[in-house]
Amino acid sequence: MWSLLPPLIAGIVAQLIKFVMEAGRGKFSWHQLTNYGGMPSAHSAFVVGLATEVFLLNGPQSTTFAITVILALIIIRDATGYRQEISEHAKAINRLAEAADHQAQILPHLKEKIGHRPLEALVGGLIGIAVVLASHYFWQV
């Protein structure tokens, strides 16, 4: 059970970094704590942190490590591929709706920041590794 804490903390740290960065840009909103997309990827931090935790506890040859790596690859691919594509679709739909009629508001404004760019996923993954390694170094979890 305690081995679950470092990956969870990694995801929370990434989300807090994103929150602080957005607040620093003048976009302070408590809603930012639960937003998708942006720098860094909390999803990547969590799943890479989990894979790192399993690697440290069970070794690189374990089946559980293989499962966590595959899970991480699927989640990161989804965030940088599918969800990033949804973000682009939302931007296009918002532009079309604005061009069609500014007054009528045909469609509600769609959320445009859903996916991640590869750099955002990479930084999230590095946060996951760093938090898990730090927890093992400082607290011998």
Q: How far, in Å, CA of 39 to CA of 51, rounded?
A: 21
Please tell me the predicted confidence (pLDDT) of residue 92: 83
Residue 79: give the domain boundaries: 2-139
CB 50 within 8 A of CB 72: yes
Count CB neighbours of 124 within 10 A.
31
CB 49 within 8 A of CB 128: yes
CB 18 within 8 A of CB 32: yes
Please tell me the predicted confidence (pLDDT) of residue 58: 94
Contacts of 123 (CB under 8 A, 6+ apart): 39, 40, 41, 44
Evaluated on CA atoms 99, 100, 104, 107, the torsion sign reads: negative
What's CA 55's distance to the chain center, in Å? 21
Could you list the pLDDT tens digit for every one of the 141 residues in the chain? 578 899 999 999 999 998 888 777 777 666 666 677 778 999 999 999 999 999 999 999 999 999 999 999 999 998 888 777 777 777 787 787 777 666 556 667 767 677 778 898 999 999 999 999 999 888 865
pTM of the model: 0.80
Q: How many structural domains are present in the chain?
A: 1
Please tell me the predicted confidence (pLDDT) of residue 18: 86
